Amino acid sequence: MIVDRGIWRGWAAAVLPCLLAACGAVTHNSLPPVLPAAAVSVWASSVDQTRKLQAMPSLPLAQAGPEDPSQVVIDPARPAQRIVGFGAAMTDSSAHLFQNGLLRPERDALFSELFGPTGLGLGFLRVPIGASDFSLEHYSLDDLPTGQSDPELARFSMTKADAMQVPALLAAKVHNPGMVLMASPWSAPGWMKSSGSLIQGRLKPEHYGAFARYFVRYLDAMEARGLPVSYVSMQNEPDFEPADYPGMKASPAERAAFIGGHLGPALAARKTPVGILEWDHNWDKPEQPLAVLADPVARKHLAGVAWHCYAGDPGVMASVKAAYPDMDLFFTECSGGDWAPDWGGSLEWMTDSLIIAPIKAGARGSVLWNLALDEQAGPHLGGCGNCRAVVTINSRTRAVTRNVEYYVLGHVSRFVRPGAHAIHSSGGPAGLKFVAFGNPDGSLVLLAHNSTRSELPVSVNAGTGSFRFTAPAGEVMTFVWRKGHGTP
């Protein structure tokens, strides 16, 4: 991943267990009261950390009146994209800490909290194919001595993935059987590349077929282990060539040729469909995915476009989506770190840029970077030495710290359930950023952020019901209620 530090400027009605601000963890013995039907459940996080996904007093749900431009207007009759989910990446480092850094009961409790239906409900995970910078060693799934090649993949092996990553994913899936996986390689095996190494270099055209078969072998192996993968990208961050961890540069022309002529047909021949996502890189170069999408052969094999946060502006996601509305949109990587130490600033920026902006642009989900790192922002081998994960697991004490990313994800993942849709929302006072969802059980969810530095009174009109609230400066709030006034 590339970190541009300048970018840092600045189902769930009330029967679910609360997240207590004091400890930041899901509790299973402190249930809020069952609210009457004509009520809105509220959870809030403040920039000063006095509230962290804290259950607040419920609000009355009144009969809706005429629409007003100053209101937040939500139209449940206008569903948009179906949501796949929210989550983070099960890197080797995260898997190692989950498997070795905690006792089994501790891991199970944390996984219930992170992935379970009474916890955060994280259900969309990204998985590196082979090593990333957050691995204990650099490897691919078909490593060979220098000078050798293996076009038929006779030496392909899942041994290293089976050591940590696969068991951690299977343990997580116990708590969320509907979990959706996306997989990305940081590099092709070194023998396929111009550098002869996992470090730097490009995929040689004579090995395009072998690399496509590599994907098929991996996808088949994961499916055999009970971990079917729903989406892949050809390459993590294909416009970056890291000097000290696996990476592989691939131009738009190279990606289009590989996807259109090799990867697309190879995956289409499998019984289980897998969507191919283009780009998987930053907001600053939308011309790159647009160039691949302009290739009609490649485009017919693509399911969508994936984005990272480390450079550029999130507004480009909507522009690319508008140019190719049939393409799905996903947000697939962002990490906080020491370059953004302010908790409140990170809460606000991440909520706006990684959740609200992508969903407003048409995204079907958002995935952050590492699920877990240790107190030294590792283990890692090259790459980012000061990244922050969703949780920190202390390697000496086994204490778990829930970071700001935990709460950013929790404000949507706890409440937006599998099968939900984004729904049309508009209006609102200046400075309020928001997005709305409709769940399969009929509940509605509003995620709102007061981006101003003063209190902001807000009126919400959802067609058949309305409510009012005042958002403190910087506050991030989630509201959950049932459609219809006075009905369950």
Shared domain for 380 and 324, answered yes or no, is yes
Structure pTM?
0.92
Rg, Å, the chain Cα set: 22
**Encoded amino acid at 37, one letter:** A
Per-residue pLDDT at 17 = 32
Measured in whole angstroms, the distance separating CA 457 from the mean position of its chain's CA atoms is 31
Task: Tell me if 430 is assigned to some domain.
Answer: yes
Shared domain for 141 and 177, answered yes or no, is yes
Per-residue pLDDT at 241 = 96
Task: Tell me if 172 is assigned to some domain.
Answer: yes
Shared domain for 278 and 394, answered yes or no, is yes
CB-CB contact of 245 with 383 (8 Å): yes
Per-residue pLDDT at 26 = 42
Average pLDDT per consecutive 10 residues, the chain (488 residues; last block may be shorter): 37 31 35 55 98 97 81 96 98 98 98 97 98 98 97 98 98 98 98 98 98 98 98 98 98 98 98 97 98 98 98 97 98 97 98 98 98 98 97 98 98 96 97 98 97 97 92 98 58
Give the end of a domain, one of 357, 392, 413: 413
Q: Which CATH number is 434's domain given?
A: 2.60.40.1180
Task: Tell me if 335 is assigned to some domain.
Answer: yes
Shared domain for 339 and 432, answered yes or no, is no
- Where helices occur in 156-245 by DSSP H, the ranges are 159-163, 165-175, 208-224
Task: Tell me if 16 is assigned to some domain.
Answer: no
Helix (H, G, I), strand (E, B) or coil at 210: helix
* Distance between CA atoms of residues 485 and 488, nearest Å: 9
Q: Say how many C-beta atoms besides its own lie within 10 A of residue 326's C-beta.
A: 10
Task: Tell me if 125 is assigned to some domain.
Answer: yes
Which of these, 330, 314, 343, 339, lies nearest to 408 by C-alpha position? 343
Which of these, 61, 56, 64, lies nearest to 40 by C-alpha position? 61
**Tokens representing 277?**
């996502």
* Distance between CA atoms of residues 416 and 412, nearest Å: 6
Shared domain for 467 and 409, answered yes or no, is no
Task: Tell me if 333 is assigned to some domain.
Answer: yes
Buried residues in 432-458 as b, exposed as e (16+ CB within 10 A): bbbbbbbbeeebbbbbbbbbbeeebeb
Q: Which CATH number is 336's domain given?
A: 3.20.20.80
The phi, psi pair for 5, rounded to 5°, reads -65, -20
Shared domain for 249 and 374, answered yes or no, is yes
Shared domain for 202 and 337, answered yes or no, is yes
Give the end of a domain, one of 360, 386, 413: 413
Task: Tell me if 196 is assigned to some domain.
Answer: yes
Shared domain for 73 and 88, answered yes or no, is no
* Count of structural domains, the chain: 2
Per-residue pLDDT at 37 = 58
Shared domain for 294 and 400, answered yes or no, is yes
Task: Tell me if 369 is assigned to some domain.
Answer: yes
**Residue-number span of the structural domain to which 89 is assigned:** 84-413
Shared domain for 455 and 367, answered yes or no, is no
Shared domain for 248 and 125, answered yes or no, is yes
Give the end of a domain, one of 371, 394, 413: 413
The phi, psi pair for 112, rounded to 5°, reads -60, -40
Shared domain for 62 and 208, answered yes or no, is no
